[in-house]
A and B are shown apart, each in its own frame.
Chain A
Amino acid sequence: MRKQFVKTVEDLLNQDERLVVLLGDIGVFGFRNSFATHPDRIYNIGILEQSTISLAAGLAKTDLIPVVHTITPFIVERSLEQIKVDFAFQRLGGNFVSVGASYDYAALGATHHCPADIAILKNIPGMEIAVPGTPAEFDTLFRQSYNDGHPTYFRLSERANAESHNVTFGKANVVEKGKKATVIAVGPILKNVLEATEGEDVTVLYYTTLFPFDSKTLKDNLVGDRVLICEPYYEGALALDVIQACSGRAMKIAHAGMPKRFLSNYGRAEEHDKDLGMTAEIIKQKLNKLIND
C-alpha cells in the first residue's frame, strides 16, 4: 500500500496544485521524483509530529490540502490533540496517512504498534476514517475523499486482501449473501474472513470506510439475529455503530479482533496472528459458536 500511496499522491501533486505533502522522515526515497518535480509542495518535515500537524492546519487555513505521512502511533497517539483541536474542532480538511498498522511492525516492538487507532479517532467528531484492504482500494478511497474538507485518516497496512473490491468512500460492500448471520469485515481482515466463511450460509459485508459509518447497508442486509464483527485492530471499535444500526432488534454480537494487550514478543506479524486469534481458523470457530449457540 505504501507504494500505491506514493503513486497516487505523485499523480495528485501533478493534478492539484493545492496538495502539499509533509513526511515525518519516512518515505523520502519513495517520493524522490516528487521532491525533484514539486520542491515547494513536498517536505521531509522532520521528526516533530505535533508541530507538523499544527503546521498542516496552517496550510489548510490557507486553502491548501495537506497530506501528513508517518508511522501510525506518531500520528494518532502522539499528535492526537493537534488532530482534534487544529483540524476537527476548526473543521479543516487534511489527510493523515499512516504506515504500519496494528502490529505490522512486529519486530520493532510495542512502541511502534498502534492497534488502538480506530477506537481513538472515532472519538473525534467529524474525523473520517478509511481502512483500505488493498492498494487499489486505497487509491480509490483517497481520490474520492482527499479534498472533501474533512480531516481524514487512512490506515495503511502491510497486510492486504488477495482481491480488490469496487469500493466507494462512505459505503460498505455486500460481498456474500446468506441467512444464518451477518459478518462484518474491516479492510485487510477480509481475506481471513472469506476463508473462514467459505461454505457457510452467511452474509459478509465489507467496510473500508469506518466514519462516516454506512449503517444503511448494514440495516438493509442484516440477516437473522447474529452479527460477527471482524476487525484487524483492537476489537470493539465498531460495536456502538453496529448496535445503533440494529436498534430495535435483539441481536447477538460477537467480536473477532485483536485483544487489548501489549505485544512484548518480536518476530513477524504472522507469528503473532495465532497468539492473538487473528487467523481464518479462529474466525471460523467464533462464527460457528455464534451461529450454533
Chain B
Amino acid sequence: MVTNINQLRLSIVQACLASGEGHIPSALSILDILLVLYDKVLQFDPKNPTDPKRDRFVLSKGHGSLGLYAVLADKGFFPKKELESFGQFTSILGGHPDSLKVPGVEVSTGTLGHGFPTALGMALAMRITKNKARVYTLIGDGESNEGTVWESALLASHHKLDNLVCIVDHNHSTDRAVSVGDMKAKFTAFDWTAVTVNGHDQKEIYEALNTPHVGKPLAIVAETIKGFGSTMMTGNPAWHHKTPTKEEYAEMVREWQ
C-alpha cells in the first residue's frame, strides 16, 4: 500500500514534539526517497526482519532516524504508537538508530561515514555467500566530507559491486562549511554509474533506482531540500535540531491535512 506522505510528516513532527528531540528537516528531506524504497523497491517482510534473503537498507546519515522510524512503523516493523516514545529513557527509538533495538534497522549509525562502508561489506558478503539480496545505503552531502565515503566509493567500484546502491541526500546542509560540489561527476570519476534526480519527485527516484549498472555500483544523487514539505522549515537552518512550538505545529497540521 502506498503511504500518504503528509501523514508521515505529521507523525515525524508529533514524535519530535513529544520528546523535544530530533532532526526534523533531515527526516523530511529523505522522506520521498525512503517511501520509494520501501513502497516499490526493497524486498522485505516486516514480520521476519532478519530474513537472510531480504534487501538491506542502511541509513548512513543516522540523524535522519525520525524519517526512517516513521516509514518502518508505517510498514509494520513495529507499532506506530512507538513513535510517541521517541527519545525517551526506555524507548527503542533514539536520536540515532540502534540496530540491536529497532526491527528493520540494519546498522547502528550516527557517527558519519560508518554506514556506507558497512553497507559495502554487506554487499561483498552477499557476493561471497551467493545471496541475491541487494544493499542500499543513504548518505548525506555533509557526511561526504568524511574520507571513508571516498574510501568506500573507491572500494565498491574496484570490486565491481553491482548489488550496491548509494543514494546521496544532497540537501546542501554543509555548503556553509565545505560544499561537496558535483557529486555525480565525483562518483562517475570513481567509476560508478551515477545519475542525478530531483529527490522530491518519486517517479524520478524510482526510475533512477532502475538504472542499469552491470558490473558497477550505482550512485543516485538526489537533489533535496531540508525541511521539504513544510513551508516554514524549507531552507531555514534554524530548524536543524529545533522542536516546534504549539503555534508552529498547528501551522504544519493546517499545511498537511
Q: Which residues of A contact B (CB under 8 A)?
A: 20, 40-41, 45-46, 48, 50-52, 54-64, 81-82, 85-86, 89-91
Contact = CB atoms under 8 A, between A and B. Distances in A.
Given A57-B121, A58-B117, A59-B121, A51 B152 contact: yes
A61 B106 CA distance: 8
A40 B148 contact: no
Nearest to B99: A90
Contact of B117 (A54, A62, A64, A91): A54
Interface stretch (B107-115, B191-199, B233-241): B107-115
Interface stretch (B32-40, B122-130, B216-224): B122-130
Interface in B128-144: 128-129, 131
Contacts of A45: 155
Nearest to B126: A62
Contact of A54 (B118, B131, B158): B118
Residue from A56, A61, A85, A91 whose CB has the most chain B CB atoms within 10 Å: A61
Given A58-B122, A64-B128, 16 more contacts: A41-B128, A46-B155, A50-B117, A54-B115, A55-B117, A59-B121, A59-B122, A59-B128, A61-B106, A61-B107, A61-B118, A61-B121, A62-B121, A82-B114, A85-B110, A91-B100
Interface of B: 52, 99-100, 106-108, 110-111, 113-129, 131, 147-148, 151-152, 154-155, 158
A172 to B, nearest CB: 32
Given A48-B151, A64-B128, A55 B121 contact: yes
A55 B128 contact: no
Contacts, number: 95
Contact of A59 (B106, B125, B154): B125
A59 B114 contact: no
Nearest to B106: A61
Contacts of B106: 61
A234 B113 CA distance: 31
A62 B155 contact: no
Contacts of B148: 48, 50-51, 54
A62 B100 contact: no
Contacts of A54: 114-118, 120-121, 148, 152
A94 B227 CA distance: 39
A56 B152 CA distance: 12
A58 B147 contact: no
Contacts of B152: 51, 54-55
B151 A51 contact: yes
A85 B111 contact: yes
A250 to B, nearest CB: 40
10 contacts: A55-B117, A56-B121, A57-B107, A58-B118, A59-B124, A61-B122, A62-B121, A63-B125, A85-B108, A85-B110
A64 B129 CA distance: 9
A85 B100 contact: no
B32 to A, nearest CB: 26
B117 A61 contact: no
B124 to A, nearest CB: 7
A62 B125 contact: yes
Nearest to A84: B111
A90 B107 CA distance: 8
Contact of A58 (B110, B124, B131): B124
B14 to A, nearest CB: 29
Given A54-B117, A54-B118, A85-B108, A61 B151 contact: no
A54 B151 CA distance: 11
Contacts of A20: 125, 128
Most B C-beta atoms less than 10 A away, residue of A46, A50, A56: A50
B158 to A, nearest CB: 8
Nearest to A61: B122
Contacts of B100: 90-91
A40 B128 contact: yes
B101 to A, nearest CB: 11
B232 to A, nearest CB: 35
Given A45-B155, A50-B147, A50-B148, A58 B125 contact: yes
A219 B146 CA distance: 47
A142 to B, nearest CB: 21
A51 B155 contact: yes
Pairs A-B, 3 closest by C-beta atoms: A58-B121, A62-B125, A54-B117
A61 B121 CA distance: 9
Contacts of A51: 117, 120, 148, 151-152, 155
B90 to A, nearest CB: 19
Nearest to A45: B155
Contacts of A58: 107, 117-125
Contact of A48 (B118, B119, B128, B155): B155
A48 B154 contact: yes
